Chain A
Amino acid sequence: MHPAYSVIFFTTASGAGYGLLALLAVFGAAGVLAPHTGFGVVAIGCAMALIGAGLAASTFHLGRPERALNAFSQWRSSWLAREGVAAVVAFAPALVFAAGWICLNDVSGVFAWAAAATAFMTLATVYCTGMIYASLRPIRQWHNALTMPTYVTLGLMTGALLLAPLSAAFGLYRPTFAILALVLVVAGWLMKRAYWRHIDATPSASSLGTATGLSAFGAVRMLEAPHTEENFIMREMGFQVARKHARKLRLLATLCLFVAPFVLMALILALGAAAALPFGVLAVVLAAVGVATERWLFFAEATHLSMIYYGRAV
């Protein structure tokens, strides 16, 4: 599948933003993070900026971005519409929670309820993002049980990596944040490893034989393509530039997204609050490279059943 930069940026940036917002809401309502105006402005602002930039970028790959509002209408059947609705609905409790935190320094009562709703709606939005891909039956690398949990886990994980240095910058760092980041990094790592093993080990149920119905006559191969130039289907579904580098890119993603942040978070835990800002920032930078590579691979390694007709392996 063609990896559109706008979609890679949208899913990674909004995933991290929603993860950070969910963690802020949970830690705020639980009293782990004292409501602090400066920190609230920067941390909630950072989460909202990531979400907003991601949502804006998601409209760039549309043929008719001016009609984007149409995309909210079919939530009964479409995960893409559900994602849009969830993203908009999430803003309502998030703004109440942010107002309580920043303006009133209050996270109790109605603001605690708003925090709970914020955490729920942000995770629901990332869940919908994952389900957009997991629901596509023609793409076996997406249509499996690991796709959606990986999206949610990586969203929370990258949010937790952001939380450590942000809290440290305002003297609000707690070891809990590094421990949580470590747990999520390990969970993300295990999930992504299981995902890669799954897509490598699971063959497609379809072949040129089932696609043409000609298997009764023996092996089927394409003699002649229907057109001499690449059409939309081949450009969109037949992307294979990165696939030959998949091994190296998986290693790069693993090192930047999981190994380096794990080591840095462990160092923060060992060295204490003073290390949280520099090592935390480094972990965020490396994880950004890692998650972009991971998301690029998620598209580039995905094969589409329609390519069978062009004689490609899927």
Chain B
Amino acid sequence: MSNRIVVDPITRIEGHLRIEAEIKDGKIVNAYSAGTMVRGIELILKGRDPRDAWAFTERVCGVCTTVHALASVRAVEDSLNIVVPPNAELIRNLMFATLYMQDHVVHFYHLHALDWVDVVSALKADPKKTSDLAQSISNWPKSSPKYFADVQKRLKSFVESGQLGIFANGYWGHNAYKLPPEANLMGTAHYLEALEWQKEIVKIHAIFGGKNPHPNYLVGGVPCSVNIEEANSLNAERLAYVGTLLDQAQEFINQVYIPDLLAVASFYKDWGAIGGGVSNYLAYGDLPMNGYADISKFKLPRGVILNRDLSKVHEVDGKNVDEIQEFVKHSWYEYAGGDEVAKHPWEGETKLKYTGPKPPYQYLNVDEKYSWLKTPRWKGHAMEVGPLSRMLVAYASGRQEVVEEINGVLKALDVPVGALFSTLGRTAARGVETKLVAVWAKEFYQQLLSNIKNGDSRMFVKDKWEPSSWPSEAKGVGLTEAPRGALAHWIVIKDKKIDNYQLVVPTTWNASPRDPSGQRSAYEAALIGTPISNPDQPLEILRTIHSFDPCLACAVHLYDEKGRYVHQINTF
């Protein structure tokens, strides 16, 4: 007899993801993942000017922001055959790299580390020994016994005041925490430092995008003009500041994030055999170095890996209507053609149909529809998306830098390649990727400076800006990679207006319900076999789900404060 437990919400912070898991003999034998907020950005875009779509899509989420804008302008550019100037591509790459560095570090320290680091145990640490530990793994300057003693004092006052705040939801003292108190104190200190650090790096978004949050994008290029001497444009001073921020970012990543990641991982090597999941990996790739049309020059290559077979990378075509398709068999939507059919996003429909139980309820009826997420498939296969997929596709494609970094991590942890297909592998891949992105960002920056020096100040092409130059019908796709995985926007333009717009976001790939043939998506599959030592405190579920970096805001779009489902929406 199995025992079903429910974790809702599952994000450490506010969230809209619910997991129901069945446990037998201390292990998960079955799992269901449900998005508890309805989606609908597609409906708000219909009939609007395609050139404005980025500004709406950027608003759906406070975490990914810029990548939605990027996918959107690319979809429009693709449909109208617009090729942006090299500088625009470089600045988009720099925006992309900035988001990755900020988001991956925030994910590691602020959304995931507390699954591995016991903050309360840090109170028992010896600051001197913590200092020795920190200095043995990195030459980061903030590592004196006094520094750690001060952090410990601050932490103590939080705990004593009862204002644990964001630390309040932890399963502190759980027997699955394996770090010694000193490692916990070091992790906690870096949690606080990372908070300070991430405020700086995002300033790059404001420099190139005019403002942050929600920086500006532009169909046909980027909305900044370069003039080395002019105060209000991209001038020498601002460009130099970007260079400084990139240096500081790389320093933090190499001296704090990566050493911490390896130190923490070395205590949790058993998680290299837990949380594997669907075994198929999809990456659209990004960071073009020779224009968006030349996929071979992407820093992050495109492709699919099936059944963990790293000897073959399959090609992906976002426009082939037989490749990427969405099902709604277990989702609260209906298709005109019924529940068994799959639709390519160009033909996608967004018609809500809530049939779930009336809250409050104990369990969802998982034999029927049970989520606000649709179920995407690639040629019928369930895919995992995210840093692990990107790194595996790059590794299997023989990208030297990636191969070296990954092999280096495997060697440092003394684990086999197979350990990549796991919860630990997902978390490690995110670190490897961050380190590489920090290197690449400087390359984009140098290239941009050199173009400007050589007199190329082109940032925008305007020949297709006027709708009068557009065909009466056009369609396109914008593929990119959000930090948490493959992201695409599909657009159909008719009579200069948006006729259909569909997003397939990373968390939809990973967190979706079963498809009509009963195949599990990534979260549901990854939980199978996960040990649960205490069903009242399912820390192990959080570890695996958080390793994917869930972001439900863009996967699903509406909820209500008291956890009630939003009723049928009849305003469209």
Do A and B belong to a common assembly? no
Give me the interface of A with B, judged by CB distance under 8 Å. Answer: none
